[in-house]
Structure 1
Amino acid sequence: MAGTYTPVALPFTVSGEKEDLLTLLADQRAMFRVTLKGITEEQARQRTTVSELTLGGLVKHLAQGEKATLEELVERDENAEFDISGVADAYNLRDDETLADWITEYDQTAAALDEYVANVDSLDELIPQMTAPWQPEREWWTIRKMMLHKLRETAHHAGHADIIREALDGQTTMAALYDGPEIDWS
């Protein structure tokens, strides 16, 4: 698909809207992954701005978000409630966690989510959303809206990661893509 920054290819055959959504999401994930290229465990935990965000914390958060979206799609629980206490350290790598483990989790969950969406009959299927403090009434979203939300969330945090990485060592995502060392897209 033309219009991506990265040379992504889907591992399955889909067409039309599914192809567009999944390709653009894969592109944003790849852009995020560029910011992680070559960083150490120490750098993954390093704050570089006034924010508490770190590259490791962002990959952990995005991995957990991919998993939560897949669970919502699979379980379709009409009584699900968001447990805010369960995400107290969602943006922080604990001492017993590694960047490599969270990158693996991110990649595997993203692949499982994409495979699930590729195989649904229709992006118009309605999925019950968890209630949460910011969404106290149950809402039903189409799979399309859920994936558009995932695309927005990934792009949002890819931007955060780019700023954090640039402050860390001067690398920018666009420079890494076009002027920097070769990127392994696998």
Structure 2
Amino acid sequence: MVTHVPAEAQGDERGALLAFIEEQRGGIRRALLGLTAEQAASTPSASELSLSGLLKHVVEVEQSWIARAKQEPPAVQRDESNWGETFRLVGDESVESQLAYWDKVAAETEAYVRSVPSLDDTFPLPPDPWFPPEGRVSVRWVCLHLIRELARHAGHADIIRESLDGATAFQLVNKEQGTNWG
């Protein structure tokens, strides 16, 4: 998983945006390395956030924004009655199933971003009260928004993981890569 995006690996703007999205996905995935389902679902900090809940949330967010960009309905419809379920696993959901789903969503994101004629192409925002009326955003905006969303939650994941067992982001990179630096 990407831990640094070197300039020469970015290629064009689409490649750069996708590489930075993947870099932030990696931070969240690494925070889950070696944890039991109980640890992933626990809330060891002052927040009610858990690692498994953050995972589910970022997967749903990414999928829903790409669906909006394609002008399709999100796979999961959320409203006030089920909004809390976006931050916790329910039913037969597991960390493993969410990670597998995220791989699928990530592939769909990449295919979509690479297929649009222009990153300047726009689409309408939903008529939700927190969006400007008749607002539109570009595919570039969606990519930047996903980077921001993932980075914010990768930071949350770092804090939660360190609160669980003391493992820092650098230690998790070492564990993932089988190295011993930092």
* Residue 126 of structure 2 corresponds to residue 127 of structure 1: no
* Superposition RMSD in Å: 2.4
Given that 2:5 and 2:20 are in contact with CA atoms closer than 8 Å, whether structure 1 keeps it comes out as no
Q: Shift of residue 181 of structure 1?
A: 2.1
TM-score by length of 2: 0.85
Unaligned ranges ≥5, structure 2:
none
User: CA separation in 1, counterparts of 2:161 and 2:21?
Assistant: 21
**What's the secondary structure of 1:50's corresponding residue?**
coil
Residues 182 and 62 of structure 1, relative CA distance in 2, 3 Å threshold: closer
Compute the displacement of 1:29 (Å): 0.8
The residue aligned with 1:183 is 177
Offset of 1:93 from its aligned partner? 1.3
Q: CA 1:50/1:122 → structure 2, altered by over 3 Å: closer, same or farther?
A: same
Corresponding pairs, count? 172
Residue number in structure 2 paired with 1:156: 152
What residue identity is the alignment partner of 1:5?
T
TM-score, normalising length: structure 1? 0.83
Equivalent residues of 1:82, 1:130 under 8 A apart? no
Q: Say whether the 8 Å CA contact 2:66–2:109 is kept in structure 1.
A: yes
- Cα deviation, 1:4-59, whole Å, max 9, x if unaligned, reads 63479xxxxx8411111111111111122111111111111100111110000000
Tell me which amino acid in the other structure corresponds to 2:3. Answer: Y
Instruction: Render the CA deviation track for 1:119-158: whole Å, top value 9, x for unaligned.
Output: 1110000111113232252310010001100000000000
Quick check: 1:6–1:30 contact (8 Å CA) kept in 2? no
Q: Which residue does the alignment assign to 2:106? A: 110
What secondary structure does 2:117 align onto?
Answer: coil
Q: What CA distance in whole angstroms lies between the structure 1 residues aligned with 2:83 and 2:52?
A: 15
Aligned to 2:141: 145
Q: After alignment, is 100-109 or 146-155 more displaced?
A: 100-109
Name the CA distance, whole Å, in 1 between partners of 2:78 and 2:96. Answer: 27
**CA–CA distance in structure 1, aligned partners of residues 91 and 38 of structure 2:** 11
| Alignment-derived partner of residue 44 in structure 1 | 40
Alpha-carbon distance between aligned partners in 2 of 1:15 and 1:7, rounded to the nearest angstrom? 11
Identity %: 35
Shift of 1:175: 2.4
Q: Does 1:5 align with 2:42?
A: no
